[in-house]
Amino acid sequence: MRISCPRQPDGERRVALTPDVVTKLVAAGHTVHVAPGAGEQAGFPDAAYTDAGADVGPSEAAVDLTVTVVDPGGAPTGALLGLLDPFVATDRMAGLAAAGTTVFAFEAVPRTTRAQVVDALSSQATAAGYQAVLVGAEASDRFFPMLTTAAGTIRPAKVVVLGAGVAGLQAIATARRLGAVVSAFDVRAAAAEQVESLGARFITLDDEPTDASDAGGYATQLADDAQQRIIDGLRPHLADADVIVSTAAIPGRPAPKLVDDTSLTAMRRGAVVVDLAAATGGNTTRTEPGVRVVHDGVVLIGDTDLVGGVAADASRMYAKNVAAFVELLAGDDGAYAPDWEDDIVAGSCIARDGRLVHPRLAPTPT
């Protein structure tokens, strides 16, 4: 299989293939082309790719598979694999389908045990959750751990994490490592045990946690009245927080609002909210994507590229997800030969044979 790794659009520091993964792909019989400078911002120079066996330079040969972190633009020949936001960028997906590109999106990977090795959403969420706590700690006016000093004892910071998916759980673990007292909330009933296993307290509202998740394990949208009950129930817990990390997201939909203006006003001055859902509207009513703002004395951080702060390790994890997916697309002889009966291959496919094929995007038969 001939695999191409393009340079990412401006602002994206990660790269889809790292030199160690290129070495393994070449050893498996694949030909790998890496665009000049593709890994520079993640700390991987062209020379490292050349040493790994990649062809670095202008590509003139036909490509079977283009692997990318985000949409590279254009209409790649053959197949395209990446984080493509397919359920939001629907017009773009239709355009790729019309151009004849076969599209595989990590956002559509089934949430199964077998698919964990190709679950790029989870690997990148791990990086985001870790970074969110470090950013929150840097912006906070409080020490995270308890300190016993000659000037007296300083109590530990209180951190609240909203959403206990992969990013949220990593945020909990990181805040705990830094010595903070952590509590967390999630609409999914199964999350309580995971939160408590990390040494955090699960926030239980007057309504018992429901199983607000779909068959794939993702959180689902709540009715307006249920949403308001959650906002009201969380308010006293948020008022006592020093740092809030919000990670609540619903695939393909705007982020749920969990922190309204009343909640922000009730929070102490100097508190910090790191909103990982900023790119899809944010979990607070005052989040601004890509901007750090102050509202009623509360610092709101809507950074949409937290993962880029650890681009090297985020790329290493992502490249391993890519390599595992390549194995699913390769036949016994290493050629591009997807097994369309495979649930991961079929489930992740957005476009094929000139048309949209994913159930969420394919036209309804008439």
- Termini Cα distance of the chain: 38
Pair 278, 140 in one domain: yes
229 catalytic? Reply is: no
Separation of alpha carbons 13 and 35, rounded Å? 14
CATH of the domain at 290: 3.40.50.720
- Number of domains the chain contains: 2
Question: Catalytic: 336?
Answer: no
* Statement to judge: residues 268 and 233 lie in one domain: yes
Residue 279: closest CA among 305, 299, 261, 300:
305
Query: Given the structure tokens 């476009």, which residue do they identify?
Result: 351
Domain assignment present for residue 40? The answer is: yes
Does residue 366 lie in a domain region?
no
Contact between 150 and 157 (Cβ < 8 Å): no
Angle at 280 between CA 273 and CA 193, to 5 degrees: 60
What's the pLDDT score for residue 366?
46
Query: Would 36 be classed as within a structural domain?
Result: yes
Active site residue 218: yes
How far does Cα 259 stand from its chain's mean position?
21
Q: Which entry of 7, 92, 111, 268 is annotated as an active-site residue? A: 111
Q: Which helix (H) or strand (E) holds 159?
A: strand 158-162
| Co-location of 299 and 334 in the same domain | no
226-279: pLDDT as tens digits: 889 999 999 999 999 999 999 998 877 899 999 999 999 999 999 999 999 999
**291 in the same domain as 147:** yes
- CA–CA separation, 116 and 99 (whole Å): 31
Question: Quick check: 108 and 131 in contact, CB under 8 A?
Answer: no
Q: Do both 219 and 250 map to the same domain?
A: yes
Q: Is residue 365 part of a domain?
A: no
Pair (273, 244) in one structural domain: yes
Say yes or no: 139 and 269 in one domain.
Answer: yes
Domain termination site, one of 305, 322, 337: 305
pTM above 0.85? Answer: yes
For β-strands 298-301 and 292-295, DSSP reports them as antiparallel
User: From the CB of residue 349, how many other CB atoms can be counted at a distance below 10 Å?
Assistant: 19
| Domain around 36 | 2-108+311-355
Of 271, 289, 305, which residue sits at a domain end?
A: 305
Listed residues 266, 290, 305: the one ending a domain: 305
Distance CA 311, CA 331 (A): 31
Answer yes or no: do 316 and 284 share one domain: no
Please indicate, yes or no, whether residues 62 and 136 belong to a single structural domain of this protein: no
Intervals of the chain under pLDDT 70 = 60, 207-224, 364-366
Residue whose structure tokens are 């809030």: 244
Eight-state DSSP code of residue 333: T
Residue 363 in any domain: the answer is: no
Out of 218, 232, 260, 313, the active site residue is 218
Question: Does 120 reside within a domain?
Answer: no
Say which of 51, 116, 207, 228 is annotated catalytic: 116
Q: Which residues pair with 246 in a beta bridge?
A: 162, 275
Could you say which of 46, 64, 119, 186 is catalytic?
A: 119
144 and 88 fall within a common domain: no
Active site residue 55: no
Q: Is position 158 within any domain?
A: yes
122 included as an active-site residue: yes
Which of 8, 122, 170, 183 is an active site residue?
A: 122
Q: What angle do CA 99, 103, 104 make, to 5 degrees?
A: 175
Residues β-bridged to residue 52: none
pLDDT single digits (tens) 47-69: 999 999 999 988 767 899 999 99
Give backbone dihedrals phi and psi of 159, rounded to 5 degrees, phi first.
-115, 135
| pLDDT of the residue at 188 | 86
Whether residue 216 is found in the same domain as residue 316: no
Q: Name the H helices within the chain.
A: 19-27, 46-52, 90-98, 120-139, 166-177, 191-197, 224-239, 261-266, 311-329, 343-348
Is 165 a domain residue? Answer: yes
Angle formed at CA 69 by CA 341 and CA 4, multiple of 5 degrees: 75
Centre a 10 Å sphere on the Cβ of residue 184 and count the other Cβ atoms it contains: 28
Domain co-membership, 296 together with 323: no
